[in-house]
A and B are shown apart, each in its own frame.
Chain A
Amino acid sequence: MAEKLALMRDAYGETLVELGRRNNNIVVLDADLSPSTKTSLFAKEFPERFFDVGVAEANMISIAAGLASVGKIAFASTFAVFGVEKGLNQFKQSVAYPNLNVKLVTTHGGISVGEDGSSHFCIEDLAVMRSLPNVTVIVPADAVETRVATRAIAEHFGPVFMRLSRPKTPLVYDDGYRFMGKELKFEIGKSITLREGRDVTILATGLMVAESLLAVQELAKEGIDAGVINFHTIKPIDREAILRAATSTGALVTAEEHNVIGGLGGAVAEVLVEENPVPMVRVGIQDTYAESGPWRELFAKYGLTSSDIVKAVKKVLKRRGR
Chain B
Amino acid sequence: MTPAIRCAGLTKIYEGKPPIEAVRGLDLEVRAGECFGLLGPNGAGKTTTVEILEGILAPTGGEVEILGLSWDRDERELRERIGVSLQETKFPDKLSVEEIVTMFSSFHRKGRPPIEVIDEVGLREKRTAWELKLSGGQRQRLAVACALVGDPDLLFLDEPTTGLDPQSRRSLWEVIRRLRSRGRTIVLTTHYMDEAEKLCDRVAVIDHGKVIALGTPSGLISSLQGEHVVEFAFNGGTGSLPGADGADAEPSIEAGGGPWPPAVAGAIGEPEVAADLLDLPSVISGRNEGGFIHLTVHEPHVAIPALLERLESKGRTLSALATRHASLEDVFVALTGRHLRDE
A-B interaction: no
Chain B interface residues toward A at CB < 8 A: none
Chain A interface residues toward B at CB < 8 A: none
